[in-house]
Amino acid sequence: MKDKYGLILGLGIAIAALVGLLFFLKNSGELEVIEYIYLLLVLLIVAGTSIILLKKAKDIKVGLPVGDELTEKTTWKAGYYTYLFSVWIAVSLLWYNILVPERFGVPELSVEQVIGILVLLPGAFFIGLALYLNKKGEV
């Protein structure tokens, strides 16, 4: 029962993200390059989450346990690498903002851009890595 509630909640979030994206696209004018990257990352995260949720739904339907030991291990491993990745991304962005705009005359990254990158990039990385490790089947 708990798995079913989790599944419904996950699907609800994925649908809400897609609806939010549609509203954003409808109300926004010309998009900047970074906004296209954000959109792509959101789509990747929603697609990845949907694949995981559909797999879970299939497992629930045939009566299999949703989280076996391998899945747990792969998400731990993916989480560990994502943690390292997100710390290095934050440090790289800090270095970028200190070194690049002054030298090359490009604009500094704003708070919204930095937070967007720090939420979406590790999210996409985690889902991609978890899916890859699950498919590979060994940890």
Partner 1 sequence: MTEILVLIVAVFVVFLWYMWKMNQEKKAGFTLKDERTTRIEGKAARITVHLTGFFMLGLLFYYTFADNIADGAPVLETGWALIISVIFNSLLYAGLILYFQRYED
Give me the residues that bind partner 1 (CB under 8 A), please: 73, 75-80, 82-84, 86-87, 90-91, 93-95, 97-99, 108-112, 114-115, 118-119, 122-123, 126
Those residues whose C-beta lies under 8 Å from the C-beta of residue 139, and which sit 6 or more positions away, are 70, 73, 74, 77, 133
Q: Are 53 and 85 in contact (CB under 8 A)?
A: no
**C-alpha span between 10 and 76 (Å, rounded):** 19
Residue with Cβ nearer partner 1 (58 or 91): 91
Residue with Cβ nearer partner 1 (63 or 114): 114
* CA geometry: angle 122, 128, 132, nearest 5 deg: 140
Q: Provide the 3-class DSSP secondary structure of residue 74.
A: helix
Q: How far is the CB of 109 from partner 1 (least distance, A)?
A: 6
**C-alpha span between 72 and 10 (Å, rounded):** 18
Q: How far is the CB of 61 from partner 1 (least distance, A)?
A: 26
Residue with Cβ nearer partner 1 (86 or 134): 86
Residue with Cβ nearer partner 1 (50 or 97): 97
Q: How far is the CB of 1 from partner 1 (least distance, A)?
A: 23
Q: How far is the CB of 87 from partner 1 (least distance, A)?
A: 6
